Amino acid sequence: MKFVATKREEAGVSQRRLSQMMGQSSNYIKFIEDGSRRLDLIEFLAIMQQLGCDPKKSLIALIEDLAQ
């Protein structure tokens, strides 16, 4: 999911580090970003929070991004 990759890169966090922050395997974020793993809403909100993003604003931005 490009949206997650963009937010992660803006925060200056590696895929591996974000995976660790989420308490997941080292490839967790890689699989989300390359589309081989689906991301549910609760996980999305938790990832945004870990990146220091406002979860509500991030969800709205994601919906707008997907609508384009």
pLDDT tens sequence across 16-36: 999 999 999 999 999 999 999
Q: Please, what is the end-to-end C-alpha distance for the chain in angstroms?
A: 15
**φ/ψ (deg, to 5) at 2:** -60, -35
Instruction: Report the alpha-carbon distance of residue 13 to residue 8 in Å, rounded.
Output: 6
Give pLDDT, residue 68.
87
Among residues 10, 4, 9, the alpha carbon closest in space to that of 28 is found at: 4
Q: How much is the average pLDDT of 12-18?
A: 98
What pLDDT sits at residue 41? Answer: 96
**Full set of structural domains in the chain with CATH:** 2-67 (1.10.260.40)
* pLDDT tens sequence across 39-60: 999 999 999 999 999 999 999 9
Torsion of CA 18, 34, 37, 5, to 10 degrees: 40
